[in-house]
Amino acid sequence: MMERRVPPEADQESEAAAHAPDPWIGAPRFPLERLAAFVVVLLTAAGLPPDEARRAANILVTADVRGVDSHGVARLPYFVNRLRRGLIDTAASLRTLRETPATLALDANNGFGLTLAAAAMERCIAKAETAGVCLTTVRHGNHFGMAAYYALMAPRRGLGGLAMTNASPLVTPTFGTRGMLGTNPLAVAVPTGSGDEPPLVLDMATSAVAWGKIEIARRAGEPIPSGWALDEAGQPTTDPWAARWLTPLGGERATGGHKGYGLGVIVDTLCGPLAGAAWSARVSGSRGPDQPAGIGHTFMAWRIDAFRDPEGFFADLRAMLAELRGTPPARGRDATGVLVPGDPEAAAEAANDRLGIPVKQAVLAELRVLAAELGVPFDLDNSTPR
Amino acid sequence: MMERRVPPEADQESEAAAHAPDPWIGAPRFPLERLAAFVVVLLTAAGLPPDEARRAANILVTADVRGVDSHGVARLPYFVNRLRRGLIDTAASLRTLRETPATLALDANNGFGLTLAAAAMERCIAKAETAGVCLTTVRHGNHFGMAAYYALMAPRRGLGGLAMTNASPLVTPTFGTRGMLGTNPLAVAVPTGSGDEPPLVLDMATSAVAWGKIEIARRAGEPIPSGWALDEAGQPTTDPWAARWLTPLGGERATGGHKGYGLGVIVDTLCGPLAGAAWSARVSGSRGPDQPAGIGHTFMAWRIDAFRDPEGFFADLRAMLAELRGTPPARGRDATGVLVPGDPEAAAEAANDRLGIPVKQAVLAELRVLAAELGVPFDLDNSTPR
């Protein structure tokens, strides 16, 4: 076998992608308003009050607009399922447990995750506008969708923002054989002060790859690279059908996997024990028993002018981003040139604003079933002009 | 060739380590006070005022005590070199640029990195004790050693703490061929409320591996795993002598390297543009021209009781750590069982408190030269009883 200078992961992934049927083939595009209106109908039929349904629809569709379709309308079956099983209290609102001028501890009382997370981040931002910074915890929460949505609420008001959540267990600790942590994502968003440069936004799970990459390999009938996943018995596997747990960001210990694991532990410490929420393997999800998720979130917002003149910050930040994008690029069929966090999502947003939001046929099929179950008209048939 | 279920990285590293001469062979151990006293003599001779030298010695020796010898007395040649070349202003103190009840923007005026960073974190903690949380930036800083030192100042007062810094460029952006970011570490430390359970502490560079791993492979004459480093031309290399740049945590794009890169960008955004410090490739280090480093730091501290009853937090956190350590462990010659962040450092600290702090012969040789250059007695000869 020849020595390979390129790690096998990179090659195998692109080979798998090359052989996989493209899930975007035949995906119709919808205007934002039409897609959102359908989501409102679904969520209202599932029991969510109309105001909350509208807000939740906006949050979900924003993920699709940004190309993060894993956290968009494709998640509706999960949300509707939990609503219909009474696992979420649609009448709940935020309760303040503790408050200082710069901190806030909230209880979401097992209310709908998307809307109460947005309400919590709003309160966090409002306090930061007065105090300079605010750190906010939320207990008894539910799945809040795309973390970047909440972080990005801050730059819209000129502040920096951070959003974190824990989640049901899927990621193994370093040298462990069972998933003990959620993908525990963190998102940070910072304003750039320019309409030409969207906010800098990082939104990352603390696992090496998303579960969706396992699903792509399953559909393609291709092996997954060693190091992505473990099987039920906790053994490394390259068989996507045997994959049960994900490895932390960094993969094996030798390539820094203990750092990704450590980040996941810190996210859980803030969202679980500090918030007074469930933690680690105690968080309930779609694979667990019929009980409230017990998820916790942590949010933060900070004023730029608490630290320096915002114009100076914006100029320096934009120069830094330009210099990073100007790094001499690698060549290779996978190379995209050097981007900064948020560039792929901003490009998707620009295209989808113009052309409409694409929805995969597989997702449309699930939404059609969901509409039938809820007894509402399916309003997204494929004959829609793109 | 047989299929390998273990990624090549893990095996190759242990093979390299197995063939490398153990750098700890013949490393004498010193009582903390003796090692610190020698550091004070060196730093004072290099121009640091005695009070600052004592504080700096404590910070450096703490790294050695915790087994983080890469950031301990082994860094003295770097610090002394910069002091003697007048690149650090030994008379500088912190100046407050902006202040709100919960935020603080400081200027370190190119003073000594270790001591002014500690002074900045002290002020951050004091404000957090009043406001519940405090976010603090520092501009015109210098290399501050081990990030965990500053984060750990918070748990000693019962608070949670965070410390970040940027650094001179060594890490390539994803799909880039030149180092544009420092290793940009972040450290978080949280109290556990128990003497039996040391604070939870994560201290991680946002690069895949530390530069020290390249140096170990050089001494061993062994190749490094693909994916750790790039050469001067930005091409992946397995030759440790050709290695010039490090890859971000996660390595290649397919294994999440864009996340490690993104984390590095966020750390730089807060420590560079937000603090009003240098950023990215503009930070000066030992490889750069003779000028102030221009490093920036960001610190944060938060009260536990701003969010919930501390006893409840401590109980939940300790239960979480116990459950993580109880994860069914992987087998294999590299496997250590499941640890939590800070466990290896706590184990080193327990051993070194008892036996004395080991210092490698190669480091002692450098310190001997340094003492001669500064005209002070070398007080760490190897015949010291251990």
Contact A306/B100, CB-based, under 8 Å?
yes
Pairing of strands A243-246, A229-231: antiparallel
The answer to whether residue B324 sits within a structural domain is: no
Angstrom CA distances, A330 to A7, A226, B7, B181, B246, stand at: 15, 24, 24, 16, 14
> Is A194's pLDDT higher than 60?
yes
pLDDT in tens, A134-158: 999 999 999 999 999 999 999 999 9
Instruction: Write the burial class of residue B100 (CB in 10 Å: 0-12 exposed, 13-18 middle, 19+ buried).
Output: buried
Model confidence at B12, pLDDT cuts 50, 70, 90, reads very low
| DSSP assignment of B242-258 | TEEEEPBTT-SGGGTHH
How many cross-chain Cβ pairs, A to B, lie less than 8 Å apart?
331
Residues of chain A neighbouring B308 (CB-CB closer than 8 A): 97-98, 105, 137, 274-276
Model confidence at B307, pLDDT cuts 50, 70, 90, reads very high
Interface probe for B, chosen from A300, A320, A339 (most Cβ of B below 10 Å), is A320
Among the listed residues B94, B75, B91, B196, the one whose alpha carbon sits nearest the alpha carbon of residue B143: B75
- Are the C-beta atoms of residues B7 and A251 closer than 8 Å to each other? yes
**Is pLDDT larger for residue A386 or for residue A58?**
A58
Contacts of A130 (CB under 8 A, 6+ apart): A101
**Nearest CA distance, B328 vs chain A (angstrom):** 6
> Is B262's pLDDT higher than 50?
yes
Share of chain B above pLDDT 70, in %: 92
Number of residues assigned to chain B: 386
Distance CA B254, CA A249 (A): 11
The answer to whether residue B31 sits within a structural domain is: yes
Q: Lowest mean pLDDT of A88-92, B16-20, B26-30, B181-185, name the range.
A: B16-20
Chain centroid to Cα B318, Å, comes to: 25
pLDDT at B9: 33
pTM higher than the cut 0.90: yes
Contact A173/B327, CB-based, under 8 Å?
yes
Per-chain mean pLDDT for chain A: 91
pLDDT at A331: 85
Q: Which domain holds residue B297?
A: 24-208+247-319+342-374
Distance CA B62, CA B44 (A): 19
> Is B24's pLDDT higher than 90?
no
The answer to whether residue B273 sits within a structural domain is: yes
- β-bridge partners, B96: B106
Task: Reduce the DSSP state of residue B156 to 3 states and report it.
Answer: helix
Active site residues of B: 143
Chain centroid to Cα A7, Å, comes to: 27
**Nearest CA distance, A4 vs chain B (angstrom):** 8
Mean pLDDT along residues B71-93: 95
Share of chain A above pLDDT 90, in %: 79
Contact A276/B236, CB-based, under 8 Å?
no
The answer to whether residue A149 sits within a structural domain is: yes
Distance CA A159, CA A156 (A): 7
Angstrom CA distances, B360 to B213, B259, B357, stand at: 16, 35, 10
Distance CA A16, CA A224 (A): 8
Task: Reduce the DSSP state of residue B190 to 3 states and report it.
Answer: strand
Mean pLDDT along residues A33-39: 97
The answer to whether residue A348 sits within a structural domain is: yes
Residue B386 has what DSSP assignment?
-
Q: Which residue of B lies nearest to A236 if distances are taken between CA atoms?
A: B5
- Cα four-point dihedral sign A198, B266, B280, B258: negative
pLDDT at A20: 54
Per-chain mean pLDDT for chain B: 91
> Is B137's pLDDT higher than 90?
yes
The answer to whether residue B96 sits within a structural domain is: yes
Distance CA B181, CA B267 (A): 10
Instruction: Write the burial class of residue A220 (CB in 10 Å: 0-12 exposed, 13-18 middle, 19+ buried).
Output: middle
3-state SS record for chain A:
CCCCCCCHHHHHHHHHHHHCCCCCCCCCEECHHHHHHHHHHHHHHCCCCHHHHHHHHHHHHHHHHCCCHHHCHHHHHHHHHHHHCCCCCCCCCCEEEEEECCEEEEECCCCCHHHHHHHHHHHHHHHHHHHCEEEEEEEEECCCCCHHHHHHHCHHHCEEEEEEECCCCCECCCCECCCCECCCCEEEEECCCECCECCEEEEECCECCCHHHHHHHHHHCCCCCCCCEEECCCCEECCCCCEEEECECCCCHHHCHHHHHHHHHHHHHHHHHHCCCCCHHHCCCCCCCCCCCCEEEEEEEEEHHHCCCHHHHHHHHHHHHHHHHCCCECCCCCCCCCCCCCHHHHHHHHHHHHHCEECCHHHHHHHHHHHHHHCCCCCCCCCCCC
Distance CA A295, CA A347 (A): 31
For chain B, the domain total comes to 1
pLDDT in tens, B204-240: 999 998 888 888 888 888 999 888 999 998 888 999 9
Instruction: Considering only the beta carbons, identify the residue of A14, A132, A236 that sits closest to B5.
Output: A236
Among the listed residues B316, B311, B202, the one whose alpha carbon sits nearest the alpha carbon of residue A272: B316
Q: Which residue of A lies nearest to B236 if distances are taken between CA atoms?
A: A5
> Is A385's pLDDT higher than 80?
no
- Are the C-beta atoms of residues A297 and A144 closer than 8 Å to each other? yes
Distance CA A316, CA B52 (A): 32
Distance CA A204, CA A185 (A): 5
Model confidence at A10, pLDDT cuts 50, 70, 90, reads very low
Contact A135/B236, CB-based, under 8 Å?
no
Chain centroid to Cα A350, Å, comes to: 19
Residues of chain B neighbouring A265 (CB-CB closer than 8 A): 200, 202, 324, 340-341
Distance CA A127, CA A136 (A): 10
Residues of chain B neighbouring A335 (CB-CB closer than 8 A): 175
ipTM above 0.90, yes or no: yes
> Is B13's pLDDT higher than 50?
no
CATH number of the domain at B288, please: 3.30.1370.60
**CB atoms < 10 A from the CB of A119, how many?**
18
Distance CA B181, CA B207 (A): 9
Residues of chain B neighbouring A225 (CB-CB closer than 8 A): 254-255
The answer to whether residue B327 sits within a structural domain is: no
> Is A131's pLDDT higher than 80?
yes
